Structure 1
Amino acid sequence: MSGSEPLISTSILSDALVILGAAGIVIPLFARFRITPVIGFILVGILVGPSGLGAFVGQMPWLGYVTISDVHRLDPFAEFGIIMLLFTVGLELSFGRLWDMRKQVFGLGALELIGCALLIGLGLLLLGNSAPTALALGLALALSSTALVLRIVDPARPVGKAALAMLLFEDIALIPIIFLLGAMGRGSETQSTAELVSVLTNGALVIIVLLVAGRFLFPRLFAQAARTKSPELFLAASLLVVIVASGATGAVGLSPIVGALIAGLLIAETEYHEEVEGMTKPFEGLALGVFLITVGMGLNLGFLFDNLGAILLATAAILGTKALVTGILLRTMGARRGTSTEAGILMASPSETTLIVLGAAISARLISAEAAQFWQIVTALGMTITPILAWLGRRLAKRVDRGARLEVMNGEEARTIIIGFDRVGRLIADMLRRHDKPFVAIDLDNDRVIQGQEDGWPVIFGDATRDATLDKLGIERASAVVLTMDEPVLAQRLVRRLRSRFPDLPILARARDARHAAALYRAGATTAVPQTLESSLQLSEAVLVDVGVPMGFVIASIHERRDEYRQQIMHEGELVHAPRLRTASLREYHPRDNAES
């Protein structure tokens, strides 16, 4: 016995060295080339796993120190990776955010999971599988990767919001899915009804205890850790919470990742969540790397090559089905075409939780080990190309939106044209929309254009310095043109060109300072607004209001002062004959204030 213990210890240390060493190589290498490390982790896992160099340990024993030849030794590392991933996901959320998103989560999320599962299950049923097997595989393959998708897409974008809602429901539905498979199971290893009820009851009690205890204990625990001013103790407290919560749910038959997710959600509700998130941030990339490396190590290359055609066909069918269902569902619920296309393709790949559900299906004897291996390879392959799917989704979304852009360009009504859709352009667009005034915006920054289109703004990509582009926007019937770009020379040239072509067109331009405003007036601008002047006037308005000057006097005096500055700038721009703006009297603006005064 004493002779075997050092051997086991050495084996564990060797496995940890291989996985951590591989992660240490892949993360900086792929970061250097700005490539997502997902593919690299899985490829490294294949290389050092039992189907790669690990298969030659018998011929070259020294490879045992840099490879893993026993796939079952990977289970603890894979479970650790998933637990830490779900914990970090929980930290980024909160129960308040979940409640705010309840309609999207339990509406959109439920429809997406059920729709994909039923369609995939129906296809498998038509291929000759039994109904329980088809349903089990449909539920497993309908899941999408929370760990990968949320690292690729920005949750603030419409695509990210839709993906987050669907992924949250899938994480919540994981427990009922596993219970359902147990109830449908066949054979001696299947849980009885009494055992299933016991797991449900105990699981519900544990979750309630975690929720209640976490609300009261976690703030006190982290307050004590904070008082010590010891980062090590704070990190230890964070890991203790994860381990206890995961162990509690695992002890009653639930998945440990449920406890990790709940722990993250509870900590997110405390005032210490930012500190915990900062402490555990290094574990996030490492946990993802560990899990993906174990996925690659678990692939049987011999089985893959023997069934390559069927695996590729199955992968394409699953990806296509999920993309189609998700895209149609989002479009039906009012999402834009580009958003529906990108989100559908992004959510098409299988998930790390697919492997968990497949394991539960094997235990319940709903699928054979060989069938499970087939679908595990399909899952790993789908996860590997998730970054490629994200890139493809963005590209197709641009093409799909091209038709909508043409509709925007070909509008027949007179409208304001906003050139430049940065913060200032957005604010002007918002004010025009509030007053029901038609407008269209154009920008050369593609990221701004995509974000603006996803937010529902009529903005297109294009170069406003080209006459052909402005003609397509309907410049000859524009009610006004607004220049918001912070490029003084370019703005002057564009104003001069517009004034030469359209003598009567109102041209309003953002100026960097008074000198730039004078140059814009010389070029032909109707109005040039120096941003330095406006900030000074806004500050003056706030000061006057705070010291007790009536609002009516403040607004009128600010307008008068703005008019004086404008006339001064016009004079400097040698436009002394420009029509003077009418200075409103106090009574025109706030007669009530004047009456009271």
Structure 2
Amino acid sequence: MAGAINPQSFSDSLVILGAAGLVIPGFARLRISPVIGFILVGLAVGPSGLGALVGQYPWLYHVTISNRAAIEPFAELGVILLLFSIGLELSFRRLWTMRTQVFGVGAAELIGGGTLIALGLYLLGQPPAGAFGLGLALALSSTAVVLPMVGTQNAVGRAAFSMLLFEDLALVPIIFMLGALAPSVAASPDGPWGELADTLVKSGITIAVMLVLGRLFLPHIFSQAARTKSPEVFLAASLLVVIVSSMATSIAGLSPIVGALLAGLLIAETDYHGEVEVMTAPFKGLALGVFLITVGMGLDVRVILANWPALILAVVGVVLAKTIVTAALLYLSGARKGVALEVGVLMSSPSETTLIVLSAAAAAQLILPSTAAFWQIVTAIGLTITPLLARLGHDIARRLEMALGEDTPEISEDHAEAAAVVIGFGRVGRMVCDLLDLHKQRFIVVESDPDVVAEARRGGYPILFGDVSRTEMLDKLRLGHARALILTMDDPVLSVRVTKRVRGWVPDLPIIARARDTDHAAQLYRAGASDAVPETLESSLQLAETALVDLGVAMGPVIASVHQMREDLRMGIKDAAQLETAPKLRRLRADEVP
């Protein structure tokens, strides 16, 4: 009913959607990271910004967010979806190969950075237990801000991800450890250590059950969702898996982001991971923007101005300490100097999880509430400047590598050798793939029918499930690295649309398309196809070839004449299509002349 609608929800939605639709494109136009844009929006419209003036100017209520707690669940969802998307880019095999970096360098980075920061705080007068808690909190880095900027495919992204993954796994043990240091620890008969052991056992069982059930049921769930041909059902299934996995690990005592990462890993092992990633990407971006807005709402300009010398010293101290530890560990582990330095600067600011650990330390009475509030502002400032640090670290690292002669381009392992991309795996697509395989040409196939994908997988074909009618799916294929695009699907409208889109992105890519008839072939040529093969033309030529041979004409002359006629007819169609567009182009150029 209309009376049950909460007007605050509408005003909050207006602010968030306004930030996403108006403010962020403006920052992108200025080549400024959207991360800064979202945080500044939170600062401007939050309780410490324009929201503080609602009492004097009631109309500001509709363009501000006065209740930060109301949007925090959406912010948490953004971080969960981010970890889920990271899991989709990984695999258990790749994760296993990273175990040394995760549990070696990652653990050393957290312990080393936390120890150095704690030592500095202790020398400044902080009690030992409080310095230890603050050191661990400030040593954490932001998964939500760092990974969207660098990804996980290059050397910088892989190094950052390995350390961030260990930090996310260590979050719950850190909180329990702080509880063990609380003055009231003796009040519990078993103490927090017994509770920690119980949590680890329960979480281990939960993860094992999730692994088994995921491998058994997820392929069937997404197969049924794909058969409905409904994007809504597919999206609902994806979000259901994420939320159930996050709830399961949360109930077991672990962070919900661990469940989200595990859900992504499980789906990455199925044929549907590409489609799932495309479907959930818009929600991840918007929810992550909400998270960054809440970070900005934690900033209070008046408090910053009143304490700016101490805040600047604190931010600089944390950034320097973490940069030194991270860069040194990576360099000692074999990373190039430029990569080590870039990752060190990138990971130098505190994290959103820092706020959680600060709250736990304050609840355990290890630090004063005023101390926690001070370092919360430091954390918010650090998150705000992370994109600037990333840019600075990247520029310095490039100059260092060029000076040392280490500036060698890195090629993604998935695209080390360019391949042909075949869209459609019907009778025509299968024959094309068989011939490509016969001549030792690498290729990847994209098909939207889940039954066809499953059958092709059993046959050993390299095939992905995806709907190329969505631009996001075409983006994921990275056609700039391909040697050719081959369109074999029996959908004339879609093949023309895909040809036009791809030709606009990759002008030099050979596009070979299946056409129904000569008219469709002409449309494909006008859209930018390199070659279009009409089915009616080919069937006529094959029929004539068979008839001539049966009439006693020698095979050699017949084949030569058929090939010549095929070439003449196809070139005639192509030339006619180009002549149709040429007058239009000439008229446009004439109109442009002043």
1:13 to 10, 19, 25: 10
Who is 1:158 aligned against? 155
Does the alignment pair 1:90 with 2:87?
A: yes
Who is 1:238 aligned against? 238
C-alpha distance in 2 between matches for 1:251 and 1:63: 40
Residues 449-493 of structure 1, C-alpha deviations (whole Å, 9 max, x = no match): xxxxxxxxxxxxxxxxxxxxxxxxxxxxxxxxxxxxxxxxxxxxx
Who is 1:103 aligned against? 100
Conserved 8 A contact 1:345-1:390: yes
Q: 1:305–1:366: structure 2 CA closer, same or farther, 3 Å change rule?
A: same
Q: Which has the larger radius of gyration?
A: 1
Does the alignment pair 1:78 with 2:75?
A: yes
* Aligned partner letter, 1:350: P
Conserved 8 A contact 1:77-1:294: no
* Aligned partner letter, 2:313: L
Q: 1:153–1:163: structure 2 CA closer, same or farther, 3 Å change rule?
A: same
1:340 Cα offset (Å): 1.9
* Aligned partner letter, 1:389: L
Does the alignment pair 1:384 with 2:384?
A: yes
1:402 Cα offset (Å): 4.7
1:163 Cα offset (Å): 1.6
* Aligned partner letter, 2:296: G
Who is 1:534 aligned against? none
Residues 64-105 of structure 1, C-alpha deviations (whole Å, 9 max, x = no match): 111112333332232222222222222222222110111122
C-alpha distance in 2 between matches for 1:187 and 1:303: 32
2:56 to 55, 59, 84: 59
2:142 to 134, 145, 157: 145
* Aligned partner letter, 1:259: G
C-alpha distance in 1 between matches for 2:231 and 2:76: 26
Calculate the TM-score normalised by the size of structure 1. Answer: 0.64
Does the alignment pair 1:347 with 2:347?
A: yes
C-alpha distance in 2 between matches for 1:284 and 1:27: 15
Q: 1:370–1:66: structure 2 CA closer, same or farther, 3 Å change rule?
A: same
C-alpha distance in 2 between matches for 1:83 and 1:306: 35
Does the alignment pair 1:303 with 2:303?
A: yes
Equivalent residues, number: 410
* Aligned partner letter, 1:229: K
C-alpha distance in 2 between matches for 1:96 and 1:212: 16
C-alpha distance in 2 between matches for 1:19 and 1:267: 30
1:41 Cα offset (Å): 0.6
Q: 1:154–1:253: structure 2 CA closer, same or farther, 3 Å change rule?
A: closer
Conserved 8 A contact 2:71-2:290: no
Q: 1:332–1:388: structure 2 CA closer, same or farther, 3 Å change rule?
A: same
Does the alignment pair 1:27 with 2:24?
A: yes
1:177 to 158, 174, 179: 174
Residues 277-332 of structure 1, C-alpha deviations (whole Å, 9 max, x = no match): 01011122212211101110122333222211111110000000111111122222
> Helix, strand or coil: the match of 2:350?
coil
Conserved 8 A contact 1:23-1:290: no
1:190 Cα offset (Å): 9.1
> Helix, strand or coil: the match of 2:345?
helix
Who is 1:214 aligned against? 214
Who is 1:334 aligned against? 334
**Unmatched tracts of structure 2, length 5 or more:** 417-594
Residues 247-295 of structure 1, C-alpha deviations (whole Å, 9 max, x = no match): 2222343322222222122212222111100101112221221110111
1:168 to 165, 169, 179: 165
Does the alignment pair 1:369 with 2:369?
A: yes
Q: 1:356–1:89: structure 2 CA closer, same or farther, 3 Å change rule?
A: farther
Who is 2:293 aligned against? 293
RMSD: 2.9
Who is 1:497 aligned against? none
Conserved 8 A contact 2:129-2:181: yes
C-alpha distance in 2 between matches for 1:104 and 1:421: 19
Equivalences for residues 415-430 of structure 1 within 5 A: none
**Unmatched tracts of structure 1, length 5 or more:** 409-417, 428-597
1:188 Cα offset (Å): 8.6
1:174 Cα offset (Å): 1.9
Q: 1:351–1:44: structure 2 CA closer, same or farther, 3 Å change rule?
A: same
Conserved 8 A contact 2:27-2:33: yes
Conserved 8 A contact 1:189-1:364: no
* Aligned partner letter, 2:163: M
Calculate the TM-score normalised by the size of structure 2. Answer: 0.64
> Helix, strand or coil: the match of 2:24?
helix
Identity %: 60
Residues 349-381 of structure 1, C-alpha deviations (whole Å, 9 max, x = no match): 112222222233233333232222211111111
